[in-house]
Amino acid sequence: MMDQALLDLALDIASAITFTVGGAFVLIGAFGLVRLPDVWSRIHAAGVIDTVGAELILLGMMFQTGLTQTTLKLALIGLFLFVTGPTATHAVANASFVAGLRPVRLRRNETADVLGEQPRKEMQP
Amino acid sequence: MTKAVGLLVALFALWLALSGYFKPFLLSLGVLSCLFTVYLASRMKLLDDEAVPLQLRLSLPLYWSWLGGEIFKSAVAVSKVILSRDMQLNQQLIAVPSPLKTDMGHVIFANSITLTPGTVTVEAVPGKFLVHALTEEASAAEGFQEIARRVAAVETR
Amino acid sequence: MVMFLAITAALFVAVLLVLVRLFVGPTLYDRVLAVNTFGTLTVLILSSLGFVTERPDFLDIAMLYALINFVSTIAILKFFRYRTFGRTTASQEEA
């Protein structure tokens, strides 16, 4: 039974590490969401929360449950966030791009290379 | 047909994962609802490469774990930018060519770029993406080429 | 247990910061972004509260919340772009 206690201790330590790192990323991301200057840079702060923070915290929870149905559900939540997160982020970025918002202090702009020179079709109802 | 069976297996695995009961009555209800869903999906002509991506290579989880490492690295870089006293923002909108062959490959590539903190795909036209990068390092062309090379390895069998 | 309480507290602090951005704005897209992040954090808080109260059923609610959160973000953005929920984007392009 000594091995079991050691395994539990190792899993607890693994959970503590992933929780600390994941929680730190979540807090940094939330702080960045308040601190960064415009919507374009804030998207990246939200990306830190949505990907690294969320997945690490879910991973830490998975260490605590062992091989049960709960682990499977946590994995499903993680997979779902992994797949839908970038779609939602892209939707926000694309919507603000179409609405005409541009980043502040833009260093390099190759929009014309992608969209061509013609003005974009107006999206009116 | 292969796609229908694949969707049926995936749906039933999801049912089992969410329910956790193994009584014969509940299992048969699960099989029936999965069959009905597959029937509806085939009637709606949804059984294509997009809904049932069986054409992807089985090394997709390996790609995901590699991507996880990349995401972690760039998350650390973005965190440094957020926490630095004078935020060194070099916001850029850059054009990234997408050399992939299939639609699914384009989707995986664009989503991988968006998943990596520091870069977001803003607009997609055939063969090209408009990518917003937060810093100079995040916009390096080699990083995008590396992702594209690995996506090309998983997009078709 | 202490671990889960600590992570829940950290998530609550993050939610408060996100709420600041939600109220300050200034554009619609800042707010949509804040709502989306708020939803992700809610999913995490729900899961960790499930562990604190030792009721794993909370995970089902968390999963449902993740689904609804994604759909609502897309729906809000679609509404403010086309001012309607009904017509598809494809028919919009042709019009």
Model confidence pLDDT, tens digit, residues A17-47? 999 999 999 999 999 998 888 888 889 888 8
CA distance B92 to B80: 18
> Are the beta carbons of B122 and A51 separated by less than 8 Å?
no
User: How confident is the model over A78-125, as pLDDT tens digits?
Assistant: 999 988 888 899 999 888 888 887 877 777 777 777 776 544 544 444
**Is C51 inside a domain boundary?**
yes
- Across the interface, which of A12, A43, A77 has its CB nearest the CB of C47? A77
In a domain, residue A46? The reply is yes
Whether a cis peptide bond, with omega within 30° of 0, leads into C26 is yes
Nearest to B130 by CA among B97, B87, B81: B97
Q: Structurally, how many domains does chain A consist of?
A: 1
**Mind listing the pLDDT tens digit of every residue in chain B (157 residues)?**
888 888 899 899 999 888 888 889 999 999 999 999 999 998 988 888 777 777 777 888 888 889 989 899 888 988 888 888 777 778 888 888 888 888 888 888 888 988 888 888 888 888 888 888 888 777 777 888 888 888 888 877 6
Residue C7 resides in a domain:
yes
Query: Residue A125 falls within a domain, yes or no?
Result: no
Chain A contact probe: residue of B120, B121, B151 with most A CBs at under 10 A: B120
* Non-local CB neighbours of C88 within 8 Å, separated by 6+ positions: none
Task: Of A85, A100, A98, give the one whose Cα is nearest residue A44.
Answer: A85
| Alpha-carbon distance A84 to nearest alpha carbon in chain B (angstroms) | 9
Contact B105/B151 with Cβ under 8 angstroms?
yes
Helix (H, G, I), strand (E, B) or coil at B87: coil
- With respect to residue A13, please indicate whether it lies within any of the assigned structural domains: yes
CA distance C45 to chain A (A): 10
Is residue A107 in a domain? no
Written as six digits, the tokens of B78 are: 């973005």
State yes or no: pLDDT of A16 exceeds 60. Answer: yes
* Residue A109 domain flag: no
The enclosing H or E element of C2 equals helix C2-24
**Is the residue at C94 inside a domain?**
no
A117 in a structural domain: no
Overall domain count for chain C: 1
**Is residue C13 a part of any domain in this protein?**
yes
Query: Which DSSP category does B138 fall into?
Result: G
Cβ pair B120:A73 closer than 8 A: no
In a domain, C41, yes or no: yes
Which residue segment(s) compose the domain that A12 sits in? 2-100
Task: List the subunits that have 3+ CB pairs under 8 angstroms with A.
Answer: B, C
A68 belongs to a structural domain: yes
**B130 neighbourhood in chain A, CB within 8 Å:** 97, 110-111, 114-115
